[in-house]
Structure 1
């Protein structure tokens, strides 16, 4: 009986479920089936514009050192200027629709990218134009910190300098300006070293801000940034369109139409300035508007009407003076 049981066990193998080789084979077959099924499944289609937008975002946020190579200021500004000229060409042809607004928006994007590009400055330092405001804020914060360490000392030194210049005006040109280093020299012993360290950081922030400011002035960064901001706004584009029509009507000697179009453009410009008050302090933007106003004054003169500034712009360009043609 025991021999029969042993023979039966050899045939049935009750503890044998699957050999290792059989398990591997089963898994391989299942994986192959899943891969075959996946190959026939429809793949999601990602728009090319979305892929480009993601890539631009990754590039703009990547500040790892050595990742980007600093370029010259003029080379870095070329894409921005190219986009601006494209928008200007549309306006020069009298096109003031959504395509023109989109062109100004694209130019604004180029301005933003330009501001984050590494620029090789003249002294070999690498700067980014967007950091001007950050460095100004850092300098102001350091001044406040030093004022807490040595309260009132900077103002006291300023008063002493003014008193000397008042007593002897011939000394005004020779007296040096008060600096935070002078304040640090008179700081208490327990905070003097800290004050000098803050002075060094303050001088660094001021130097960086001045250097970035020079770079921005060379390419007119702040002006073009404001121009793109105006052009990409609804009221800004409306102002451009009205003034373009006014100039055209003036050339065609349609002075009544030109007057109405100028005033429409000025009203739109007033709305733009109310939305973005910083434009009112931009000297080049104000100068541009003054040029349009001079043409408006000529139109009024040809219509024998009083030549005054539009009420909505008198705080920007002044009341205007009588003009004789």
Structure 2
């Protein structure tokens, strides 16, 4: 009896196993070229959870990882230690070989690709003496990062990082002149990087290639719906336009002006406007557009006017009631003119101002008490105003993060004939000074450039004098001043001062007080002649619109 029971149980187990094969096959069958696989394979594909959804699957990488027999973590630790040791010993051949081994073991570890690419492009390259050798390791770092994007082709962070390396390491390094020249002429690199389909020579500028990578990272977010994680959308989406701006600046630094420079700035302006009109998620989860500030403020003013007209005088009543409840010492502090208040009186006055502030919700509640029939409309308007004020606050904050207003103004005015000619004249002046040692010609060209810059600044009053443009102009002024010194002249000498139009720029940008005496002498001369002195950079002229 016992033997029969044992036999029957075995038969039941075999039957159950056979039955279970069907749901297991339905659920877990792997995908093949001809078949989509089981239910789990389909779900994995839809959710993008499969290894193939990350990027390329390298058979060699898979083989090496399987060969570690579950000890991949230990193998990785050993290789990291070896890589650091080779780096300390400056054994770059073994260092690179170790990185290649690590890449096979950690192909989907994003930080690995970023960290070791940085090692090659930034840390290793600076250890070499010859600029060509340094450039070689910069491009090896870029190649290494590019390899990482093949394994992680839908990771916007890694693709964006590639744009950063190509743009900033080549375009911002001390050796940027040599790096940019070598990059354009590097046929082997462009063949590798673009998989045998390199762009034409005129498109091989590092900033243009950088912009292309940034655009690819944005495309992954837009088209593949991938997340940018903790990255700030304001800076992430600005990157393509900033690369185009850097390209326009770089070619002018190289001495390229007129229509090519104009076209570069025109493209930069279009990209910046596209960026401003892009809908982005704010830190509070709401969607905003940076270009919507004026429109949102107009709507806010309209709603506030409608709200005030709903029950005129209610706000004043609330303020009067709050003021009547202020302590005597606070009232006394408010009565003292602001210019002569003590520190304690200033503190009390500030607290009073804060307490006298009236929110829209307070006004809505007061309207509901006095005019019950208007309560619903008052609450609706108060909520709409609070919502739009929150959007305005977020838009303003994010515009400051990307310096939106400055770059919008800059990309607009750099296209103008005056700005293009002004930069061309300044470049020619520098050439006359440095290469030809022609002081008189250099001075003449700089002065023509300054006259045109004064026209540009007058046409764009919103441009801050202490902006990046102000810093650019101060570089020109410094070189001009150097020429004056060799001619035994000073900026404040009457013959120079009389025609120099950029005193406001000098005053706003002279952080090192290099021109302190010249500025003082200029002001004395202006005041002595009865002319109206130029205002401080942050002080609007009475009767004019303030600089925003």
Q: Does 1:180 align with 2:345?
A: no
Moved more, 243-252 or 157-166: 157-166
Deviation at 1:160, TM superposition (A): 7.9
Q: Which SS does the other structure have where 2:351 is aligned?
A: coil
| Corresponding residue number in structure 2 for 1:272 | 456
Measure the CA separation in 1 of the matches of 2:322 and 2:444. 56
Q: 1:198 to 1:88 in 2, by over 3 A?
A: same
TM-score by length of 1: 0.66
Tell me, in whole angstroms, the C-alpha distance in 2 between the residues paired with 1:155 and 1:265.
55
Which of 407, 410, 416 lines up with 1:227 in the alignment?
410
Alignment check: 8 A CA contact 1:246 1:259 kept: yes
Does the Cα contact within 8 Å between 1:96 and 1:241 map onto a contact in 2? yes
Counterpart position of 2:517: 322
Q: 2:322 and 2:446 mapped to 1: Cα distance?
A: 52
Aligned to 2:236, the other structure's residue is in SS state helix
1:142 and 2:303 are equivalent in the alignment: yes
Counterparts of 1:58-207 in structure 2 under 5 Å? 72-151=233-312, 154=315, 165-168=330-333, 169=345, 170-175=347-352, 176=354, 177-187=357-367, 188-189=370-371, 190-207=373-390
Determine if contact 2:465/2:504 at 8 Å carries over to the other structure: no
Partner of 2:166: none
Q: Distance in 1 between matches of 2:500 and 2:321?
A: 46
Give the Cα separation in 2 of the matches to 1:259 and 1:159.
64
Q: In structure 1, what is the Cα distance between the partners aligned to 2:375 and 2:478?
A: 58
For structure 1, which runs of at least 5 residues remain unmatched after alignment? 1-65
Question: What is the CA-CA distance between 1:166 and the residue it aligns to?
Answer: 5.0
Quickly say closer, same or farther: Cα 1:246–1:186, change in 2 above 3 A: farther
Distance 1:297 1:110 in 2: 37
State which of 392, 395, 415 in structure 2 corresponds to 1:209: 392
Give the Cα separation in 2 of the matches to 1:149 and 1:307: 60
Which residue number corresponds to residue 243 of structure 1?
Answer: 426
- Report the alpha carbon displacement of residue 295 of structure 1 after superposing the two structures with TM: 4.1
Greater relative contact order (Cα 8 A, min sep 6): structure 1 or 2? Answer: 1
Q: Which structure has the greater CA radius of gyration?
A: 1
Aligned counterpart for 1:289 among listed residues 473, 479, 503: 473
CA distance in 2, matches of 1:266, 1:220: 25
Which range is displaced more, 220-229 or 180-189? 180-189
8 Å contact from structure 1 (residues 87, 100) kept in 2 = yes
- 1:244 match: secondary structure: helix
- Local SS of the residue matching 1:307: coil
Change (3 A) 1:300 1:180: farther
Q: 1:230 to 1:162 in 2, by over 3 A?
A: farther
Q: Is this contact kept in 2: 1:119–1:128, CA < 8 A?
A: yes
User: Are the equivalent residues in 2 in contact too, given 1:307–1:322 (CA < 8 A)?
Assistant: no
Give, in whole Å, the separation in 2 of the partners of 1:243 and 1:158: 58
User: In 2 relative to 1, CA 117–321 (structure 1 residues): closer, same or farther, beyond 3 Å?
Assistant: same
Any conservation in 2 of the 1:83–1:103 contact (CA below 8 Å)? Answer: yes
Cα shift readout 1:211-267 (whole Å, capped 9, x = no counterpart): 122222222222222221122111111122122233444445544333322222222
> TM-score of the superposition, structure 2-length normalised?
0.41
Contact 1:301 1:323 in 2 (8 A): no
Check conservation: 1:273, 1:280, Cα contact below 8 A. Answer: no
Question: How many pairs align?
Answer: 259
